[in-house]
Every structure is written in structure tokens, then in C-alpha cells.
Amino acid sequence: MKPRLQTSLGQQLVLTPQLRQALHMLQLSALELEAEITEAVETNPLLDWDEDAPLQIAEPDGALAEPAADDGIHQRGDEAPTPWERDDEPWIERGGGGQFDDDGDAGDRTAQTDSLRDHLSWQLHLSHLSERDRRIGSALVDAIDDDGYMREALDAIAAALLPEVRCGRDEVQAVLWQVQRFDPTGVGARDLGECLALQLQALPEDTPGRALALRTATTLIDRLPKLGEKGLADALGCSAGDACTALQLLRSMDPRPGAQLGAVPQDTYIVPDCVITRHAGMWRVALAGGSQNRLMIHRGYEQLIRHAGAVDAGYLRGRLQEARWLLKNVEARGETLLKVVHCLVRQQSGFLEFGARALRPLTLREVAGEIGMHESTVSRAVSRKHVHTPRGTLPLRAFFASGIDTDSGGEASSTAIQDMIKRLVGAEDPRKPLSDARLAEALKASGVPVARRTVAKYREALQIPSSHERVRIA
């Protein structure tokens, strides 16, 4: 047999640098995005600030519209001010710098710790698992380190669950497979090979090099440094070109997926990503103004490309392409975020009006299905994002909650049940505090059948002492 070259035409899906940048930017908080854009402007001469960029307001149907003299709600002049100039909402300026006043509660604008464990626990809480499996999942989440790896043996985790939960290694393994489907992709792996394999399995099946990369991750990862590209081709029984493609795909994976979600310092200042207002009986959603609204391509350098030499023109064209990618990905991030927030407003309008007691059960899967996106995309869009509402600055995660079936055939969210417990305790006789059993009976009488142990769990989450301790306090 003689070596020969052969060409063929075909369509393939590839995880391009642009797509990787889009996924990276989607999971950034407002402050992190601001820093990334500022760094890009400082290092790329083709990027510049547009100081005259107007604020864009999102209409209820999701479209973006710039403020005009007449938007169909108010006329300019001596009449009532437009929604973005209202005196009772001083936290956003017309002209859109996204500036906030100093009169509000500083605690509302201080970020809470959002670690990898918090992110995984939140997804576990929203997953469709039984109470028993959630307890196993909670133990698994606690055993995952900051890099996203499961360092403890499954037998040890099963033993640690005794005597509350009696389970075997196979049952713990089954729940681990569910945890490994959480965001970020690759979390819960027990070694590097499994971590890379989980990320590769999430890619489309026709991604170039995926099958060979999977074989490498599962069987050859320990030998890879010694094999090199030629040795890998021999071990896989493929051409050097195919081995190179698989190797490049492996290198594009993240060996430390948990590092994406480091802990946020307690004194970090919150910059909301979106603003929710209500006017004329309708909820309005807007992206909070920021540097992304003032980003533009420097037209002077763009025109120099035509007159520059070959070397300079090549450099400028490369930077111009990077600038266009950045602008496009920032715009895509904003559109995705608006879709998610609009969906949350439609689903949780009662929560915005009446508070936690009106929060309905809502999961990532429901939102993803409504807006036509993958669950992991919605999770990235929600992660570390905040929204300013008439009820204060809230994390987007506050709009999600698991549910419990009610006697009326509907569902009550866990947050709403906690609010009911808080109200019952607040209205109790201090000399005869309600026990967990009596709280469960009161909830059942309201049409929400909840077990006593569930009431105890929610009461502890609210940091409410037991009935015996409340008697001593009274």
C-alpha cells in the first residue's frame, strides 16, 4: 500500500474560537464582563469607546428599542416623565451609564458568596430527584473539590450517609451520573480522563476528532505525555492528521471545570445585569447600561487597512476580526440574557408583585424548553447574574424553585412554603410555640401536604429555632 492524498467535501460542526468566547462571556458577571471589555479595548487598537451611545430599552416582546421622543407611553415636555427618568427609580440614568444611587441599602448591592458548591446545590435542588437521591446528591456535592473533581471514594460517601440513608455503591454511582450532568460540564469526575470524557460527550457527535479524543481520554490519557502525536496515531490506529485533530480537541477542553466558579468575596459590589420596572401595568426589562453599550470599532484604524503595507494590514485585519467577534458575542450575550429574564418575568410575575409567597415552582428545564435553548446555556446565563427590581437587587437564581404537589392539584414552591412557615411562626402564641408537627398540620389545612421532617428542614434553612428553644427565648 502507498500513501496518498485525498480530498472530500462535507459539513461538520466545530467548537470554534468564536463559540468558545461566546460561552465564556455568557457565564461572566457584569463586573467580570466590564473588566474583560476594558482589557480588550486597551490591547486592541481597533476597539474604542462610543461616548454618545444611547441607552437601549427592551420592550415587553423582547425587541430592543431606543428611547424616542414619543414611545407610545408618555410625551416629552411638561407631562409625566418617561420610564427611564422616573423620580421613584433613581437607580438608572437616562443616557445609560447604568449608574446607581447611594441612598439604597448597601447590603442589597453586596455580592454573596457564590461558590462551586452553591452552584451545584442549586441545580440539585431544582433537579427531578427523590428526597432520598437528593440527600445522596448533597453528600456528593460536598465531596467535590474547588477544581470540580470527586476526590472521595463512593463507598466512603455511602458509609458517611449512615444511619439516615442506607444505600450501596451502585446507588451512589447512579446519583453521581446525574450530578455529572450539571453545569459546568465535566464536574464530578474522578480523574482527568473522566473529566475530559464528560466534556467531549457533551459535544455534537459529528464534531471532528470527537470519537478519537474520547478513546484517548478513556484509555490513553496517562500515556499521552510519553506517546506524543506520532505515538498516539499508532496507538489509535489512525492517520497523523486525525490524531492531531483529536489532540487539538482534547487541548481545548477545561481540565479544571470547577475553577470557573470561584468564590466571590463578601465585599464585592454588585452591578446588576438587567433592570426590571413596571409601568402602566406592564413589566419592562432592560439590560443595565455599561461599557458593552459604549463599545465600537475605531473607524480611523479600520480605514488605515486600505493604505497599510502587507505586514501592517495583516495585523490590523486580524485585530479587526477579533473586535468584530467581541462585539457580536457581547450582543449575543445580551440577547440571551434578555430572553431568559423575559421568560422569568412571564413565569414569576406574581413573585415580583407579592413576594416569596407567590413564587411558583420553576426549573432550568422549563425555561430552556420555553425559549428553545439548552439547559446548560440557561444555567450559564443565570449564574452570577443579578437583576434590579422594585423589590431590590436579586440574583436570577431567586426566580427558580422546586415544587411540592398541593391538594388542589397544583404545585407550591419550596420558597413559598418557607414563607408560609415564617408567617405561621411570626403569628404564633409566644407562650405556646408551634411544633414542627403542628406546622405541618397547618400547612396541610392550607392545602399543602408537607411532612414534619420537611418542615424541620425548611425551618432550619430559615434559621428559626425549634419550638422548645422559642419557648426559652420568649
Residues 239, 253: Cα–Cα separation, whole Å = 22
The beta strands (E) that lie in 20-71 are given as: 47-49, 57-58, 64-65
Percent over 90 (pLDDT), the chain = 14
Interacting residues of 445 by C-beta distance below 8 A, sequence separation 6+: none
Pull the grid cell for residue 72: 407610545
Residues 283, 349: Cα–Cα separation, whole Å = 8
In contact, 288 and 30? CB cutoff 8 Å: yes
Res. 301: pLDDT tops 70? yes
Confidence of residue 102 (pLDDT cuts 50, 70, 90): very low
DSSP state of 110: B
Per-residue model confidence (pLDDT) at position 309: 65
Per-residue model confidence (pLDDT) at position 338: 93
How many angstroms separate the Cα of 38 from the Cα of each of 47, 97, 380? Answer: 10, 15, 22
Pull the grid cell for residue 454: 420537611
Residues 229, 231: Cα–Cα separation, whole Å = 6
Q: What is the rounded average pLDDT of the residues 220-241?
A: 88
In contact, 450 and 404? CB cutoff 8 Å: yes
Per-residue model confidence (pLDDT) at position 470: 80
Query: What angle is formed at CA 209 by the lines to CA 207 and CA 214, rounded to 5 degrees?
Result: 100
The residue extents of the domains of the chain are: 20-65+89-101+270-355+369-382, 116-259, 403-473
Residue, of 269 and 318, whose pLDDT is higher: 318
Query: What angle is formed at CA 363 by the lines to CA 378 and CA 355, rounded to 5 degrees?
Result: 105
Per-residue model confidence (pLDDT) at position 62: 40
Residue, of 301 and 2, whose pLDDT is higher: 301
Res. 6: pLDDT tops 70? no
Q: Is the dihedral of CA 144, 148, 153, 155 positive or negative?
A: positive
In contact, 136 and 161? CB cutoff 8 Å: yes
Q: What is the rounded average pLDDT of the residues 277-282?
A: 86
Report the b/e string of 193-220 with b at 16+ CB within 10 A.
Answer: bbbbbbbbeebeeebbbbbbbbbbbeeb
Per-residue model confidence (pLDDT) at position 344: 93
CATH 1.10.10.60 fits 403-473, yes or no: yes
Specify the 3-state DSSP secondary structure of 308: coil
Per-residue model confidence (pLDDT) at position 197: 93
Per-residue model confidence (pLDDT) at position 52: 63
Res. 308: pLDDT tops 80? no
Specify the 3-state DSSP secondary structure of 98: coil
Residue, of 3 and 21, whose pLDDT is higher: 21
Residues 35, 26: Cα–Cα separation, whole Å = 14
Pull the grid cell for residue 32: 467580570
Q: What is the rounded average pLDDT of the residues 388-398?
A: 87
Q: Among 394, 418, 414, 393, which Cα is nearest to 403's? A: 414
Q: What is the rounded average pLDDT of the residues 331-355?
A: 90
Residue, of 239 and 106, whose pLDDT is higher: 239
pLDDT tens-place string over residues 125-159: 888 788 888 889 988 988 888 889 988 888 888 88
DSSP state of 343: H
Specify the 3-state DSSP secondary structure of 227: helix
**C-alpha 62: how far from chain center:** 20
Q: What is the rounded average pLDDT of the residues 213-241?
A: 89
Res. 164: pLDDT tops 70? yes
Q: What is the rounded average pLDDT of the residues 232-249?
A: 90
Per-residue model confidence (pLDDT) at position 291: 55
Per-residue model confidence (pLDDT) at position 169: 86
Res. 293: pLDDT tops 60? yes
Pull the grid cell for residue 306: 486600505
What is the pLDDT of the chain when averaged over all its residues? 76
Residue, of 183 and 3, whose pLDDT is higher: 183
Confidence of residue 413 (pLDDT cuts 50, 70, 90): low
Per-residue model confidence (pLDDT) at position 85: 31
Per-residue model confidence (pLDDT) at position 3: 67
Res. 5: pLDDT tops 80? no
Distance linking the first and last C-alpha atoms of the chain? 91
Q: Among 61, 56, 26, which Cα is nearest to 345's? A: 61
pLDDT tens-place string over residues 34-93: 888 888 888 888 888 876 655 444 443 443 333 333 333 233 333 333 333 333 333 232
